[in-house]
């Protein structure tokens, strides 16, 4: 797969001096997705039909389309319930429209629906693969993944999952693990639902347990690998957790969360800040935690 070719189809602000050159962060994101899609665990092949759940602005969708298209064959349905006007500097609607007007537009369709709603009304050919690439932690609660998996029965042969592993193989990745657990803990204590990036944290064992619960899917291959250098997810989450610390704690206190629970959260925040202080450039030195990649087959 050609990173530059794929990145050229993604909407982003480019330098007037070098409009054909993609940003390093986008290239890292594309390289990360390529490693998932073409790696030994997923090994997605040409000419296949793919359902992507939680497609967002479409960076993984483009990589999937590149993997499956050939001689006009191959198809990707991207499903995401996010508001069309969500996102910056470009919205979901703008990013997806740009993709549909480009090289892979004839092999992609986007659907602004919850995965449950989409699968309830889908009666087309069985998908060769269903992909959840870093989308599970966005779910409102753990029951959503169980509902989605149950809804896939008879509609997909293979389930491909990639999610953060909660394992840090370097000290630069430790703050990312801590930030994820903190943000998930805050979410679990809130009285009202939010639209945060991390709402449900499940470990690889937790995800496997949910997927295999009803005996309809079986894990056939998995690996935990270091994340691609240059991904910014860790920086975003760690920086956000630190900057919103007092606001989050104040909100929980106002919601009546006990002092004992708040004390535990304060200790977690302190641990995060201490881990960041050990890095040479602080938050700028943070690296994404390792990634769990799995492949389940329908039983």
Q: Is the pTM of this model over 0.75?
A: yes
Q: Parallel, antiparallel, or unpaired for β 156-164 and 291-298?
A: antiparallel
Structural domain count, the chain: 1
CA 43 to chain CA mean position, Å: 18
Of 141-145, 206-210, 212-216, give the lowest mean pLDDT range: 141-145
Q: Which residues on adjacent β-strands are paired with residue 130? A: 51, 159
Question: Is residue 259 situated within a structural domain?
Answer: no
What would the pLDDT profile of 101-141 be if each residue is shown by its tens digit? 999 999 999 999 999 999 999 999 999 999 999 999 999 88
Q: CATH code at 218?
A: 3.40.50.150
Question: Is residue 97 situated within a structural domain?
Answer: yes
Question: Is residue 278 situated within a structural domain?
Answer: no
Question: Is residue 200 situated within a structural domain?
Answer: yes
Q: Which residues of 166-194 are buried (b: 16+ CB within 10 A; e: fewer)?
A: bebeeebbbbbbbbbbbbbbbbebeeeee
pLDDT attached to residue 70: 75
Residue 223's domain comprises: 3-169+194-231+287-298
- Does the structure show a pLDDT above 50 at 19? no
Distance CA 83, CA 181 (A): 26
Question: Is residue 223 situated within a structural domain?
Answer: yes
Question: Is residue 263 situated within a structural domain?
Answer: no
What would the pLDDT profile of 190-207 be if each residue is shown by its tens digit? 877 666 778 889 999 999
Question: Is residue 220 situated within a structural domain?
Answer: yes
Q: Give the pLDDT band (50/70/90) at residue 63.
A: very high
Contact 199/237 with Cβ under 8 angstroms? Answer: no
Block residue for tokens 């149950």:
150
Contacts 24+ apart (CB under 8 A), 249-252: 251/190, 252/186, 252/189, 252/190
Question: Is residue 91 situated within a structural domain?
Answer: yes
């Amino acid at each position: 797969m050609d990173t530059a070719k794929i990145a050229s189809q993604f909407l982003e602000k480019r330098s007037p001096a070098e409009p054909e050159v993609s940003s390093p962060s986008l290239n890292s994101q594309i390289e990360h997705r390529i490693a998932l899609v073409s790696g030994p665990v997923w090994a997605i092949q040409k000419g296949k039909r793919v359902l992507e759940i939680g497609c967002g602005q479409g960076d993984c969708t483009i990589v999937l389309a590149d993997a499956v298209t050939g001689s006009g064959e191959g198809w990707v349905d991207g499903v995401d319930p996010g508001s069309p006007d969500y996102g910056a500097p470009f919205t979901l609607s703008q990013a997806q429209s740009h993709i549909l007007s480009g090289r892979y537009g004839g092999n992609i369709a986007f659907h602004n629906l919850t995965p449950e709603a989409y699968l309830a009304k889908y009666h087309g050919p069985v998908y060769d693969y269903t992909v959840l690439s870093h989308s599970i932690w966005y779910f409102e609660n753990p029951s959503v993944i169980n509902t989605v998996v149950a809804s896939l029965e008879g509609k997909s042969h293979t389930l491909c999952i990639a999610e953060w592993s909660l394992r840090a193989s370097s000290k630069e990745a430790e703050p990312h693990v801590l930030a994820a657990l903190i943000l998930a803990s805050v979410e679990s204590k809130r009285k009202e639902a939010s639209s945060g990036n991390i709402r449900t944290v499940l470990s690889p064992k937790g995800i496997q347990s949910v997927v295999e619960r009803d005996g309809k899917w079986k894990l056939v291959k998995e690996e935990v690998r270091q994340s691609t250098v240059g991904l910014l997810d860790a920086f975003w989450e760690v920086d956000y957790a630190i900057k919103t610390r007092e606001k989050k704690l104040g909100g929980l206190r106002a919601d009546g969360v006990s002092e004992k629970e708040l004390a535990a959260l304060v200790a977690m925040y302190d641990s995060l800040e201490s881990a960041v202080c050990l890095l040479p450039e602080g938050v700028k030195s943070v690296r994404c935690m390792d990634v769990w990649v799995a492949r389940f087959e329908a039983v």
